[in-house]
Amino acid sequence: MVQFKKWQLYLVIIFSFFAIIFSLPNFFSKNTLKNFPTFVPTDQIVLGLDLQGGSYLLIEVDSNSVVLENFETFSDELRLSLRKNRVSYSNFKISDNNISLKFKKDSDKETISKILSKYSQDLIFEFEENKLINILFSDEKVKNIKDTSVNQSIEVIRRRVDEYGTKEPTIQRQGVDRILLELPGISDPERLKSLLGKTAKLTLQIVDEDLSLSDLKSGKTKPGTVVYESDKELDLSGSPILYAVKKRNIISGDLLTNAYPTLDKGVAVVAFEFNNKGGRKFGKITTDNLGKKLAIVLDKKVISSPNIREPITGGKGIITGQFSFQEATDLSMLLRAGALPAPLTIVEERTVGPSLGADSIESGKFASILGFILIIFFMYLVYGTFGIFANIALIFNLLILLSILTSIKATLTLPGIAGIVLTIGMAVDANVLIFERIKEEIKHNMSPIATIDIGYKEAFKTIIDANITTLIAAIMLFGLGSGPVKGFAVTLSIGILTSMFTAIMFTRILIILWLKKTKPERINL
């Protein structure tokens, strides 16, 4: 154990260099870092919500609406299948998660069973008296739809929040249909809430001009159309203008590849680009409907309805409306991030001020520095020269820990600072075990090299066992905990690994170099 190979020395040197370079930016202000050369790392540890302030949002996903939407889609498919198989039916009703209909012929019962058997894993159906059938989604199907809608919502929220410019947001699922969102350093939570509150479901549909405005106001419609309100246009009475749009030939926003704000004749607009499939579909629809209006519908409201003057075959276009440039920017971001599968409701909101974080940081700094000084004093007082080696290793242990947290862009929270303070105390634990074991071997009057060799060998197993049990506990905290508990577990886990490295490798190399240089006849410990 006393001898070491060159690769071990090189490994310690590399880690020490890594620790200094990547931890260094944390000791300078951001303005100072701007003057650093470009090849020098300038990343700093990201402070969590409890340290730099920000917003805490608990969001509920309306997954029931997604179930209903899926059920309505299925009902349309069912109608087409019944029509295709010439099944006569009546009283077709949709109520929540249930479809009921009455078929006219006894022979149609077998045909309906064959149609529904294609969906055997998703549906439950039963025939009742008077040729009545009830159809509903299975519990497993409903659960899958809800799980998918929540997971998709998390991804869309992540894209929106990241593009919004917040640093290291915490986004995680809570319970069945809720999402926890923590936004450190957010300066405009109201704007963010308005962005999250929009489903951003975009469709392009042809306006049906056979129905007049008076017809729409009176409630008159026709099959194959749906009526939407204008987002900003008002009629003479101050009510939103109504548009009847065709259900067929819809171009969905999920075919977009890009959207960005720009200016057209000095007015803010949103330019968009389709993928190949969307470009072909957009070109065909604009070719077949020259002279007609194209309604651009966002969240079931018409934001503009330009006339199709010529075929648009390049897969590109612009969305005009009464936008400010900020509104055009927000709309572009929403379209790029994608539509939410379900509406979101903010059920809880908390704002944390940075003053609490500043106090916590100062308290954490004070505790860390005080603990560090006391440990250095104690190690030197008890172990003398060997205590100095342990203290040097402790300094590099902290630098390595800091550099790793910076490199992996870990978010440092108040419990994380507690983990660092605990690591300072645990960092010398392995050295204490080794030094106490060496003390025991000194009594046998062996040579210094043999004494240190046996001391390291005998203490090695104890160090490994003690640290592995603590590491297992930290891993369990990370796996089963959430939020701040995970932050504590991360810093503790990294601290355990770095302290083992510095005790077994770093301190040992310092002691070996000291032995070779001084060649003491006896070790005084």
Judge whether residue 163 has pLDDT over 60: no
Mean pLDDT of 295-314: 81
d(CA 217, CA 203): 23
d(CA 7, CA 432): 26
Band the pLDDT of 470: cuts 50, 70, 90. Answer: confident
**Cα separation of the two ends of the chain:** 19
Higher-scoring residue by pLDDT: 519, 164: 519
d(CA 422, CA 209): 72
Give me the pLDDT at residue 187, please: 59
Judge whether residue 326 has pLDDT over 70: yes
| Residues contacting 256, CB < 8 A, separation 6+ | 202, 272, 273, 274, 275, 278, 335, 336
Band the pLDDT of 27: cuts 50, 70, 90. Answer: confident
Judge whether residue 158 has pLDDT over 70: yes
Architecture of domain 55-60+145-347: 2-Layer Sandwich (3.30)
Mean pLDDT of 494-512: 85
Give me the pLDDT at residue 434, please: 87
Give me the pLDDT at residue 2, please: 52
CB atoms within 10 A of CB 94: 15
Judge whether residue 135 has pLDDT over 80: yes
Mean pLDDT of 189-209: 76
Highest-confidence range of 12-16, 337-341, 420-424, by mean pLDDT?
Answer: 12-16
- Going from the C-alpha of 302 to that of each of 85, 204, 299, 445, 459, the distances in angstroms are 37, 10, 8, 92, 74
Mean pLDDT of 506-520: 85
Class of domain 64-142: alpha beta
Judge whether residue 246 has pLDDT over 80: yes
Judge whether residue 166 has pLDDT over 70: no
- Give tens-digit pLDDT for 34-63: 787 777 788 888 777 767 777 788 888 888
Highest-confidence range of 2-11, 61-70, 184-193, 353-362, by mean pLDDT?
Answer: 61-70
The mean-pLDDT minimum among 19-28, 250-259, 338-347, 353-362 falls in: 353-362
Q: Scanning the structure block, which residue is given the tokens 């006339």?
A: 307
Cα angle 402-405-411, degrees, rounded to a multiple of 5: 125
Alpha helix locations (H) across 428-506? Answer: 429-442, 448-480, 484-501
Higher-scoring residue by pLDDT: 163, 487: 487
Give me the pLDDT at residue 3, please: 59
Higher-scoring residue by pLDDT: 353, 313: 313
Paired sense of beta strands 123-128 and 98-103, if any: unpaired
Give the tokens for residue 461: 């197993």
Band the pLDDT of 164: cuts 50, 70, 90. Answer: very low
Residues pairing with 204 in the sheet: 251, 296
Give me the pLDDT at residue 129, please: 79
- Give tens-digit pLDDT for 374-407: 888 988 898 888 889 988 888 888 888 888 888 8
| Residues contacting 38, CB < 8 A, separation 6+ | none
Return mean pLDDT, the chain: 81
Judge whether residue 21 has pLDDT over 80: yes
Backbone angles phi, psi at 404, to 5 degrees: -65, -45
Alpha helix locations (H) across 344-410? Answer: 354-383, 385-407
Give me the pLDDT at residue 428, please: 81
Judge whether residue 188 has pLDDT over 70: no
CB atoms within 10 A of CB 481: 15
| CATH code linked to domain 6-53+353-518 | 1.20.1640.10
Domain spans, the chain: 6-53+353-518, 55-60+145-347, 64-142
Give the neighbor-by-neighbor strand order of the sheet with 316-319.
256-264, 267-274, 316-319
Mean pLDDT of 99-116: 81
Mean pLDDT of 80-109: 81
Give me the pLDDT at residue 168, please: 62
Contact between residue 168 and residue 185 where contact means Cβ atoms under 8 Å apart: no
pLDDT above 70: percentage of residues in the chain: 92
Judge whether residue 315 has pLDDT over 50: yes
Judge whether residue 227 has pLDDT over 80: yes
d(CA 155, CA 284): 32
Give me the pLDDT at residue 165, please: 43
